[in-house]
Amino acid sequence: MQNTPLSVAQRDQLADMLAGQLAQRQSQVAVRQGQESFVDHAETERQQDSNDVMQRDGAREVDGALSARDFSEIANLSAALGRIHGGIYGICTDCGASIGFARLMAQPEALRCAACAAKREAQHATD
């Protein structure tokens, strides 16, 4: 099913949403990195027992996973903004059809139309 190409107003609305999400994610990363350095400094000032070390290591593992997810999302949002500026935003990378506005509102960094995304997910489910 071919979707209608995005209007200028829709594209601008999505660009604003992407820019807002990107700024929010970057801010969250900056706050988390600031908290990590504060925690590291505070931990050097007190005696640690084995429970403290286990808790710290667990917290760092969680923070690492969150940071990896954040950086992936930042990259995806930045790439979507790049597609907007390059004039190829909202075009399915698999079939070339327009990605519907509703899909882009729900997932503004989407690379594929709903049909191609479903086909790709089905292929990965069988792998």
How is 46-106 classified by DSSP, letter by letter?
Answer: S---HHHHHHHHHHHHHHHHHHHHHHHHHHHHHHHHHHHHHT-TTB-TTT-PBPPHHHHHH
- To the question of pTM greater than 0.85 for the whole model, the response is no
Place of tokens 């667990």: 58
Q: Are 81 and 18 a contacting pair, CB within 8 Å?
A: yes
Q: Are 109 and 18 a contacting pair, CB within 8 Å?
A: yes
Strand partners, 91: 98
Q: How far is Cα 39 from Cα 27, in angstroms, rounded to an integer?
A: 18
CA 19, distance to chain mean position in Å, is 12
Mean pLDDT of the chain: 83
Give the per-residue pLDDT at 104. Answer: 97
Place of tokens 């950086």: 71
**What are the domain boundaries of the chain?**
8-126
> Alpha-carbon torsion 93, 96, 102, 108, what sign?
positive
CATH architecture for the domain at 8-126: Up-down Bundle (1.20)
In 3-state terms, what secondary structure has residue 43? helix
Give the per-residue pLDDT at 87. Answer: 93
Digit-coded pLDDT (tens) for 55-106: 666 666 666 666 788 889 999 999 999 999 999 999 999 999 999 999 999 9
